[in-house]
């Protein structure tokens, strides 16, 4: 970051001395006011619950311009990455800062492929869960448990240890998600197969059985790979900030990522795609397209408590660029699977058309977000709704680990320790 010529002066109505605060500029996007010395010079904290106006770190990984509807990974627009790269190239980019050349791509793919197996003792750990446990509960446990297996690489001050931990996490996450799924079905775990791509391998671990050959469908593989790319990182969102905060204490990467999985689980974050699909299914069961008008009226009525799920975003106040790509993928997958007439997709398209013409949504700058179509794609592929958030976690692992690594490499990093405005009782004596 660069010190700007601009300065901010804070003045106080009680006549206290004004305080001058430095301003820093990034490469693009809003400047930041440096308030690190504020408490020392004024005895005051700032108050910003939900971090609405607070930059918690400096980062060069992902950039979002919510007004323009722009998302960049290491400077590359998400549209170009989704069209020209596969997920592992995007992983390499997020971890290393640049896209791999042909040799680096091959080496990275081979490295990840050779780390997809998990220690067989993880099976024992898995079998401790109830079969009807939510996949996110299982995943939080399994990811945390990895820290008990890799004592050889938990020195967070050693860049090589950080690198191998990143590789292990990216490689093993599909294995763990598929293990959790198979366990819920009562089916045996399908071990990874090194001849398949990262995403093809995941599909096989999810849907193959020991009794039959499984052939990876290329359109489905490409669609899921794109879902992974679109969810790979999203700058300082809640789960990424959780991973950074957890990792800031110096804990091992597996524990930090397990914290991220726990945060993602919440319906306000990773759980929204599940909610969007449920909304479409409910609408379909209650009159479908014929009933859209009534449903939209309900959404606009603030007393109804009904929201158009998959619409609106805290940062994107223009189209979410990931939603356009997801809509494209949705069409491709449904066509490839002979589901062109999928009533939910038709319903979603019609809902989008009506909402985008409606004054209520236009005025509030509400557009479809990535979750509006991703549930339809996953459902068509055969992924159960309860697994949607685990798929999101699988994809976001690279973003979490890249951000964690960036934090530890930053000489300004400190343990995260927010302050508070205390409103409880002043000191008093126990009677």
Residues annotated catalytic, as ranges: 313, 371
Rounded CA Rg of the chain? 23
Q: Min. distance of Cβ 95 from ligand ACO in angstroms?
A: 22
Residue 231 CB, nearest approach to ligand ACO (Å): 8
Tokens 């990034």 belong to residue: 26
Nearer to ligand ACO by Cβ, of 254 and 311: the residue is 311
Q: How far is the CB of 281 from ligand ACO (least distance, A)?
A: 15
146 vs 230, which CB is nearer to ligand ACO?
A: 230
The pair of three-digit structure tokens given for residue 331, joined into one six-digit string: 């069409």
Query: Looking at beta carbons only, is 192 or 312 nearer to ligand ACO?
Result: 312
Handedness of CA 342, 343, 349, 352 (dihedral sign): negative
Q: Which is nearer to ligand ACO, 139 or 309 (CB)?
A: 309
Q: Output 71 or 173, the one with its CB closest to ligand ACO.
A: 71
User: CB-based contacts of 130: which residues, under 8 Å, 6+ apart?
Assistant: none
Nearer to ligand ACO, 272 or 390 (CB): 272
Instruction: Produce one character per residue of 319-340: b if its CB has 16 or more CB atoms within 10 Å, e if not.
Output: bbbbbbbbbbbbebbbebbebe
Q: What is residue 14's DSSP assignment?
A: T
Closest distance to ligand ACO from the beta carbon of 388 (Å): 11
DSSP 8-state symbol, 74: T
C-beta pairs of 324-327 under 8 Å, 24+ apart in sequence: 324/79, 325/78, 325/79, 325/82, 325/226, 325/230, 326/226, 326/227, 326/230, 326/370, 326/372, 326/373, 326/374, 326/377, 327/368, 327/372, 327/373
Q: Which is nearer to ligand ACO, 301 or 410 (CB)?
A: 301
Q: In whole angstroms, what separates CA 429 from the centre of its chain?
A: 47
Binding site for ligand ACO (CB under 6 A): 269, 272, 299, 307-314, 364, 366, 369-371
Distance (Å, whole) CA 274 – CA 53: 29
- As a whole number of Å, the end-to-end CA separation of the chain is 54
The minimum distance between CB 277 and ligand ACO, in angstroms, equals 11
Three-state secondary structure readout of 338-401: CCCCCHHHHHHHHHHHHHHHCHHHHHCCCCECCHHHHHHHHHHHCCCHHHHHHHHHHHHHHHHH
Residue nearest to ligand ACO (CB): 312
CB of 307 to ligand ACO, least distance (A): 4
Shortest distance, CB of residue 162 to ligand ACO, whole angstroms? 27
* Phi and psi angles of residue 105, each rounded to the nearest 5 degrees, phi first: -60, -45
């Amino acid at each position: 970051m660069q010190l700007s010529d601009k300065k901010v002066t804070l003045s106080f109505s009680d006549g206290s001395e004004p305080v001058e605060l430095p301003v820093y500029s990034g490469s693009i996007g809003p400047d930041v006011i440096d308030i690190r010395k504020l408490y020392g010079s004024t005895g005051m904290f700032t108050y910003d619950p939900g971090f609405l106006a607070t930059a918690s770190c400096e980062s060069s990984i992902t950039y979002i311009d919510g007004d323009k509807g722009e998302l960049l990974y290491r400077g590359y627009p998400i549209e170009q990455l989704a069209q020209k790269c596969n997920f592992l190239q995007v992983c390499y980019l997020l971890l290393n800062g640049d896209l791999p050349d042909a040799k680096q791509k091959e080496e990275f793919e081979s490295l990840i492929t050779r780390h997809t197996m998990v220690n067989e003792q993880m099976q024992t750990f898995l079998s401790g869960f109830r079969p009807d446990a939510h996949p996110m509960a299982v995943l939080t446990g399994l990811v945390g448990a990895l820290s008990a297996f890799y004592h050889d690489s938990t020195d967070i001050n050693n860049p090589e240890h950080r690198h191998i931990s990143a590789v292990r996490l990216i490689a093993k996450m599909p294995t763990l998600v598929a293990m959790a799924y198979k366990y819920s079905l009562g089916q045996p775990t399908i071990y990874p197969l090194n001849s398949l791509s990262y995403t093809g391998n995941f599909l096989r671990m999810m849907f193959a059985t020991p009794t039959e050959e499984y052939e990876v469908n290329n359109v489905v593989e490409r669609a899921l790979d794109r879902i992974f790319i679109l969810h790979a990182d999203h700058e300082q969102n809640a789960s990424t900030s959780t991973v950074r905060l957890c990792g800031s204490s110096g804990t091992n990467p597996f524990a930090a990522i397990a914290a991220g999985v726990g945060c993602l689980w919440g319906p306000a974050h990773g759980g929204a795609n599940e909610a969007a699909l449920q909304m479409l299914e409910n609408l379909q069961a209650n009159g479908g397209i014929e009933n859209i008008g009534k449903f939209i009226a309900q959404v606009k009525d603030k007393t109804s408590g009904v929201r158009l799920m998959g619409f609106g975003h805290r940062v994107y106040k223009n189209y979410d660029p990931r939603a356009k790509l997801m809509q494209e993928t949705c069409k491709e997958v449904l066509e490839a699977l002979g589901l062109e007439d999928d009533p939910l997709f038709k319903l979603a398209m019609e809902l989008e058309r009506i909402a985008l013409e409606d004054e209520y949504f236009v005025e509030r700058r509400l557009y479809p977000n990535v979750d509006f179509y991703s549930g339809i794609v996953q459902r068509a592929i055969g992924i159960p709704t309860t697994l949607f958030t685990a798929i999101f976690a699988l994809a976001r692992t690279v973003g979490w680990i890249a951000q964690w690594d960036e934090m530890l490499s930053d000489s300004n990093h400190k343990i995260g320790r927010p302050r508070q405005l205390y409103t409880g009782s002043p000191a008093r004596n126990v009677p």
